[in-house]
Structure 1
Amino acid sequence: MYYPYLRGKQNELILLRENAELISKSQISPIIEPVKSNLNPLLKSFRVLISELCSFSIIINPIYGDFSFDNTALIDCLNEEGILDYENLNVALICDEDTDINTLEKYIKDYPDNNITLIHYGFTDGRELEKLLSNFKNQFTHIFIEKFAQKRYRRIFTKDKRILIKDGFNKQKSNKDYPAKEHFSELHIMYEDENMDGFGDFLINGDEYSESGGPAYAVAIHLTYLDEDDEDDMFIKHYISDSNSSPADPGGKFLEALTKLVNDTDPKVFASKAHQEFLKLAQRQHYPGLGYVKKLSMQHHLESIADFLK
C-alpha cells in the first residue's frame, strides 16, 4: 500500500480529483494536511475521492498553513459536511515534538467510531503514547516519517498497521543546482524489510513547506522512474532550463527544460498520461504555468507507483 503525503494546495487538490479513479484502483491511500483557509477546493476533492470509494486520511491538527494555530474552523466544517462519517476515511493526528499527550487523548475520545492515523513526526514519549492507545478500541495506523521517527522509536508500536514515509526529494536552493539524475528511494521495494505494511513519500514536493516560491531564475521538470536493471530502485531525473541568469521569460525557460525531456528517450521512464501531456505541450510549444508543470510531475510519480503496484 502506497501512502502519498500531500499538503492541500491548489494543484495537489486538483491532482487528487483528476486521479481519484486511479487512486481507488491502485492500493493508494493519500494523507492530506489541509493548509488553506478556503475549504471549498478541499471539500470538492474529498467528495470526488469519496465518490470513487478511495481510502484516505485527513489531518485534523495541521502543523503548517492557515490551521496550524487554530483548527476549529477545519474540524467544524468537516463535521458539518459529514466528511468524517465516510467509512474509508481515517482521522489523522500529527504527533510532533510539541504535541501534548492529553490533547491527543481528547482528539481520540472525540472520534470513538473512526479509524485513527497517527503521524509520528518527532514525538518523543512513544511508550506513554502506546499505553494511551491501549485504552481505546479504534483501529490505529502508524505513519512514521523516517527522518523524525528512528527505528528504536518505531519498535514500540507493533500491534497495528505500520507505514514508513521517506522524503526522497533532495530539494536544492535553486533549480539550476539539480543534477541530471539522482537516487530517489528504495523504500517501495524494501519496506517489508523494515517490518512495515506499506510505504509513502512526499511525491516530488519534499517535506519542506513554503507558502510560495520566489522568482524562478531556472525552471526544472522532475520525473521519477524505476530502474528495472537495478531491482526496480527509483531514481529521479531533473530537466533544467539553460537561460538562468534572470527571472525573465519563464515560458521560454520551461520550453528549454521541456526540450530536454522530449529528447530523453530513456525507455525506463514510464509512459504515463502525465508524460504524454508533456509531449503534447512540446508539440504546441505551450507554457501552462509552473503550478500545472508541478502537478504533471506529481501525477507522473503517482502513475509510476500505481504501475509498479500492479
Structure 2
Amino acid sequence: MYFPYIRSKQFDLLALKELTERQLLHPSVIPLIEPIKDSAALKRTITSFIKHEQPLAIIANPEVGEFDRSQDKLHDIDELKLAPTILPAFITNQLFTGSLISGRHNLLITNRYTANLSQFQSLTSDYEISHISIQDPRMAPLSQAISLHDPLTVLKNVEDYLYEEDEFFSDDHLFYLEDGFQGFSDYSINGATYEEKGFPAKAVALHILYFDAYQNLRIKHFTSDNNQDYTNPGGKFLEAANKLARWYQKYQDQLVLTYGLSELLLYQQNQKFPGLGVIKKLSLMHHLELVSRYFQQVLPKTL
C-alpha cells in the first residue's frame, strides 16, 4: 500500500478529487490528508472519495495550518470521517493521548516526535491500530508498519534545478514487502517542509516522475532558462514544457502517459499557460496515477 502524505492545499485537493472522480487511483493508493484549513474544497474532496468508495486517511490532530484553531467550522467534516472508507489517523506528538483514538482501525504517524518506545508499544497494544507510519522500524511490529521517507530534493532557488535535471526518487514500491513493511509513504512532489504560502520564484520547474529500466522511480526537473527576474511566468512555463515535450517524444515508448502528464503536454502543444496551481495539480496527479498503474500490474486484481 502507498500512503502519499498530502497537506490540504487547494490544488492538492483538486488533484485528489479529480483522480478519484476519474477512477485513476488504485485501491492500494490511500492518500493521507493533513487538514490545514477549514475549506469547502476539503469537504468536497472527502465527499468524492466516499462516493467512489476510494480509501482515504484523514489526520484528526493536524500539526500545521489553522484547521485545529478554527472553533466554529463552516465546513464540518466530523460526520464524513465516520464513513467506512475513511481511516482515522493521528500524529503521535507531545499533545497526543490514546483517548483521541476511536474504536475503529486507526493509523498512527510518528514522523516528527518519537515517544518513549515502551509507551508507544503499549499504545499499539491497547488500541485498535492497523497501520503505523514510521521512520524508525523499532517503533512498531513490521506487520503494522509503513515506511515514511521524504525523497524529494528541495532547492532554495527554483532556477538551481537547471543543474539537477534528473535524480533518483524512490524504490520503496519495489522493496517494502521484502523488507517486511505493509506499506510505504512519502510527501510526493511537495516535500515534508510545510510553507503556509509560496514565494515568488524567478524560474518555473516541472517535477515529473518516471520509472527507469529497473522500475526505480526517478524524477526529472524541467526548468526554464530565462530566469533573470520574476516576470513572465507563462513564458517560463513554456520553456520548461517544451523541454518536457522533447523528452517525452524521445522516450515515449518507455514512459507511462498518465492523465496529468497528457494534460501538461496538451498545454505545451497549444502553447498555453494554465497557471502555477494547475501545473502543481497535474504534476501531483501524474505521480499518484503512476504508482496506481504500477500496483495494477503487480498486485492481484482483488485488491
Same fold? TM cut 0.5:
yes
The answer to whether the aligner puts 1:184 opposite 2:162 as a matched pair is: no
Structure 1 residue 309: Cα displacement? 1.0
The corresponding residue for 1:245 is: 228
The corresponding residue for 1:17 is: 17
Structure 1 residue 51: Cα displacement? 0.5
The corresponding residue for 1:127 is: 118
Structure 1 residue 83: Cα displacement? 0.9
Residues 8-42 of structure 1, C-alpha deviations (whole Å, 9 max, x = no match): 000111011101153554421110000013x2111
Shift of the 72–120 alpha-carbon distance from structure 1 to 2, 3 Å rule, reads farther
The corresponding residue for 1:104 is: 97
Structure 1 residue 269: Cα displacement? 3.0
Query: Residue 108 of structure 2 aligns to which amino acid in structure 1?
Result: L
The corresponding residue for 2:62 is: 62
The answer to whether the aligner puts 1:31 opposite 2:32 as a matched pair is: yes
Shift of the 243–156 alpha-carbon distance from structure 1 to 2, 3 Å rule, reads closer
Query: Residue 10 of structure 2 aligns to which amino acid in structure 1?
Result: Q
Equivalent position SS for 2:209: strand
The corresponding residue for 1:207 is: 192
The answer to whether the aligner puts 1:5 opposite 2:5 as a matched pair is: yes
Structure 1 residue 43: Cα displacement? 0.7
The answer to whether the aligner puts 1:234 opposite 2:217 as a matched pair is: yes
The CA distance in 2 between the partners of 1:271 and 1:303, in whole Å, is 10
Residues 183-241 of structure 1, C-alpha deviations (whole Å, 9 max, x = no match): 111111111233101112211111111012221200000100011x22x1111000000
* TM-score, normalised with respect to structure 2: 0.89
The answer to whether the aligner puts 1:162 opposite 2:183 as a matched pair is: no
Structure 1 residue 160: Cα displacement? 5.1
Structure 1: give runs of 5+ residues left out of the alignment. Answer: none
Structure 1 residue 94: Cα displacement? 0.6
Equivalent position SS for 1:134: helix
Identity score, percent: 32
Structure 1 residue 71: Cα displacement? 6.4
Structure 2: give runs of 5+ residues left out of the alignment. Answer: 297-303
The CA distance in 1 between the partners of 2:171 and 2:244, in whole Å, is 24
* Aligned counterpart for 1:291 among listed residues 253, 277, 284: 277
The answer to whether the aligner puts 1:278 opposite 2:268 as a matched pair is: no
Equivalent position SS for 1:87: coil
* Aligned counterpart for 1:174 among listed residues 145, 149, 157: 157
Q: Report how many residues are paired.
A: 289
Q: Quick check: 1:24–1:52 contact (8 Å CA) kept in 2?
A: no
Q: Quick check: 2:142–2:182 contact (8 Å CA) kept in 1?
A: no
The answer to whether the aligner puts 1:77 opposite 2:76 as a matched pair is: yes
Q: Please state which structure has a larger fraction of its residues in helix.
A: 1
Q: Quick check: 2:6–2:32 contact (8 Å CA) kept in 1?
A: yes
Structure 1 residue 266: Cα displacement? 2.0
* TM-score, normalised with respect to structure 1: 0.88
Query: Residue 198 of structure 1 aligns to which amino acid in structure 2?
Result: G
Q: Quick check: 2:26–2:295 contact (8 Å CA) kept in 1?
A: no
Q: Quick check: 1:162–1:196 contact (8 Å CA) kept in 2?
A: yes
Residues 227-278 of structure 1, C-alpha deviations (whole Å, 9 max, x = no match): 1x22x11110000001101001100110111110111122333211111111
The CA distance in 1 between the partners of 2:76 and 2:174, in whole Å, is 39
The CA distance in 2 between the partners of 1:262 and 1:172, in whole Å, is 24
Shift of the 29–169 alpha-carbon distance from structure 1 to 2, 3 Å rule, reads same
Query: Residue 262 of structure 2 aligns to which amino acid in structure 1?
Result: Q
The CA distance in 1 between the partners of 2:269 and 2:17, in whole Å, is 26
Deviates more, 1:267-276 or 1:242-251: 267-276
The corresponding residue for 2:300 is: none
Residues 139-181 of structure 1, C-alpha deviations (whole Å, 9 max, x = no match): 431011xxxx32xxx2341175221122121111011112110
